[in-house]
C-alpha cells in the first residue's frame, strides 16, 4: 500500500469515464479504501468491480448512502446537478462530496450551497494531467470549498494526485482549472505553429525539439507532444470536444468577470476548425492538423 493511504474508509465514486475509472481504482488499490462505484452505463461499473473489487450500485443514491466521502467525475453542469443532486438526497449529515468534473464555477457554488442546506460539504476539485496522469496517479488537483472538509479528504485525493491544493472558497478550484486551460490552449497553438514552421523550413523537427527543449521554449507540452505532433499522432486521451467544452466555460466566465482573452477565443475557433475536419475525438495537440492539411 502506498504511503498516501489512510485508514480504510467507505467511499463512493460516481462516473467511470476515461479519468474516473483509474482514479477510483487508485482509491481501492493504493488507498485500500472500500469503494462503491456508479456509472450510467452499468457495464463500466461491472468492468471496474471485476478489475478492482469493491461494489457497484444501480443509482447515485445507492452508491452514496453509506459513504463518508463521495467522489464525482462526470460531464458538464447539468450532469453534476443531476448526479450529485440525487446522491446528496441519500447522504448522511457531514458527508463530503468532492467533484472532479470540469464545470462552471457557478454550478459549483450552487451545489456547495445546496450541500450546506443539507448538512453536507461540497468541494469543487477539477484535475489536470489527462488520461496518463489519472492512470499513473499523478494528477494535479485544485480544490475550492470548506478548508476543514478539504483537510479531511486530501489524503484520499493523494491516492491519485501528485499535487492536491486548496485554492479558496467554493468555485476557486474551477476558476484555477480555467487558468490552466487558458495556458494550455496558448501553449499548444504556439507549439503547433513552431512545429509546422520547422517542417516548412526543411528542418529535422525532432532535432529542433531536442535543441530548443533545453532552452526557454521548454514546457510539458513540448516534452510530451511536440514529436508526436510531428509524427501525426493525436490519440492521447484529452479530446478536442472536451477542450471546446472547457474553453466555452472559460469564455463564459470571462464575459462575466471582464477578463480579456483574445488568444483563448482564437484558439477555441481553431479547435472548431479541427472539429469541422472530423477531429472531435483527436487529442488537443491536433491543432497541428489545420496547419499541415
The catalytic site residues sit at 177
Main-chain dihedrals φ then ψ at residue 284, nearest 5 degrees? -65, -20
Taking the C-alpha atoms of residue 12 and residue 37, their distance in angstroms, rounded to an integer, is 6
Cβ neighbors of 167 (< 8 A, separation 6 or more) are: 142, 143, 144, 173, 175, 176
**Cβ(69)–Cβ(36) under 8 Å?**
no
> Grid coordinates 510530451 are at which residue?
224
Q: What is the distance, to the nearest Å, from the Cα of residue 170 to the centroid of all Cα atoms in its chain?
A: 17
Q: Which three cell numbers stand for residue 42?
A: 452499468
Beta bridge mates, 165 = 142
- What is Dmax (Cα atoms) for the chain? 65
Q: Where are the alpha helices (DSSP H) in the chain?
A: 20-29, 42-52, 60-64, 77-88, 105-117, 130-136, 147-157, 172-200, 205-212, 220-230, 240-257, 262-276, 289-292
Amino acid at each position: 500500500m502506498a504511503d498516501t493511504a489512510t485508514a480504510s474508509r467507505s467511499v463512493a465514486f460516481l462516473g467511470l469515464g476515461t479519468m474516473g475509472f483509474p482514479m477510483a481504482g487508485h482509491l481501492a488499490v493504493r488507498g485500500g479504501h472500500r469503494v462503491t462505484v456508479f456509472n450510467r452505463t452499468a457495464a463500466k461499473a461491472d468492468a471496474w468491480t471485476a478489475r478492482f473489487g469493491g461494489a457497484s450500485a444501480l443509482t447515485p443514491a445507492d452508491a452514496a448512502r453509506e459513504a463518508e466521502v463521495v467522489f464525482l467525475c462526470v460531464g458538464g453542469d447539468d450532469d453534476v446537478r443531476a448526479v450529485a443532486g440525487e446522491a446528496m438526497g441519500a447522504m448522511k449529515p457531514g458527508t463530503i462530496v468532492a467533484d472532479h468534473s470540469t464545470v462552471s464555477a457557478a454550478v459549483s457554488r450552487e451545489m456547495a450551497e445546496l450541500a450546506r442546506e443539507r448538512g453536507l460539504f461540497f468541494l469543487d476539485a477539477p484535475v489536470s494531467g489527462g488520461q496518463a496522469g489519472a492512470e499513473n496517479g499523478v494528477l494535479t488537483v485544485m480544490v475550492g470549498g470548506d478548508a476543514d472538509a478539504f483537510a479531511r479528504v486530501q489524503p484520499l485525493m493523494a491516492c491519485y494526485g501528485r499535487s492536491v491544493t486548496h485554492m479558496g472558497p467554493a468555485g476557486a478550484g474551477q476558476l484555477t482549472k480555467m487558468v490552466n486551460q487558458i495556458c494550455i490552449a496558448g501553449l499548444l497553438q504556439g507549439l503547433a505553429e513552431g512545429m509546422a514552421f520547422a517542417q516548412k523550413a526543411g528542418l529535422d523537427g525532432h532535432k529542433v525539439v531536442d535543441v530548443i527543449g533545453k532552452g526557454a521554449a521548454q514546457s510539458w507540452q513540448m516534452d510530451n507532444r511536440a514529436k508526436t505532433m510531428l509524427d501525426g499522432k493525436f490519440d492521447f486521451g484529452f479530446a478536442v470536444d472536451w477542450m471546446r467544452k472547457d474553453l466555452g466555460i472559460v469564455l463564459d466566465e470571462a464575459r462575466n468577470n471582464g477578463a480579456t482573452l483574445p488568444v483563448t477565443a482564437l484558439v477555441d475557433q481553431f479547435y472548431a476548425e479541427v472539429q469541422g475536419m472530423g477531429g472531435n475525438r483527436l487529442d488537443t495537440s491536433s491543432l497541428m492538423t489545420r496547419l499541415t492539411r
